Amino acid sequence: MPASEGMAYFAGGCFWGVEEYFRQVQGVLQVTSGYMGGHTDDPDYRKVCSGETGHAETVRILFDPELVTYKELLSRFFSIHDPTTLDRQGADIGSQYRSAIFYIGDEQLEDAKDLIYILGKRKVFTDPIVTKLEPAGQFFEAEAYHQRYLQRNPLGYCHVNIGKAKKPIDPKFVD
């Protein structure tokens, strides 16, 4: 176990694929699916999907900063989802599927702003990035049946290319 762990919170559509992708990245110690960014203190899947709570499907990532940096996780996050679509990823539509980075402290915020600027300057995406940058608030762990969903249901729905987790990051996503 490392002397210190890093933590990151990302929302990039359905959490099943985002969770499974990051679970396979070297240096990631634990990934948990849950909800963040809403205005109630009792979110559950049904309520979040109805749009009544304002929460986003979010993953909490614990990582060893000696093996993988927060900046690398950010680059990977932008490489696996479409940060240019407001409140949607593929066929999943609603604010719970928004692209968001829930940052912890000024350094994570600046890293996220810097990468968004670089990706925009490089024109990596045709449309502008609409990823929301929000301070991390309370994280609510999703129901047990959502944890490791794609490990238990390998043919389950997934908008993320999981295989990219074992490959080097495309250089266009790296600052």
Active-site amino acid positions:
14
Distance CA 37, CA 136 (A): 8
Distance CA 153, CA 112 (A): 32
CA-wise closest residue to 108 among 99, 100, 96, 98:
100
Residue pair 20/160 in contact (Cβ under 8 Å)? The answer is yes
Residue pair 17/162 in contact (Cβ under 8 Å)? The answer is yes
Query: Is residue 119 packed enough to be buried (19+ CB in 10 Å), middle (13-18) or exposed (0-12)?
Result: buried
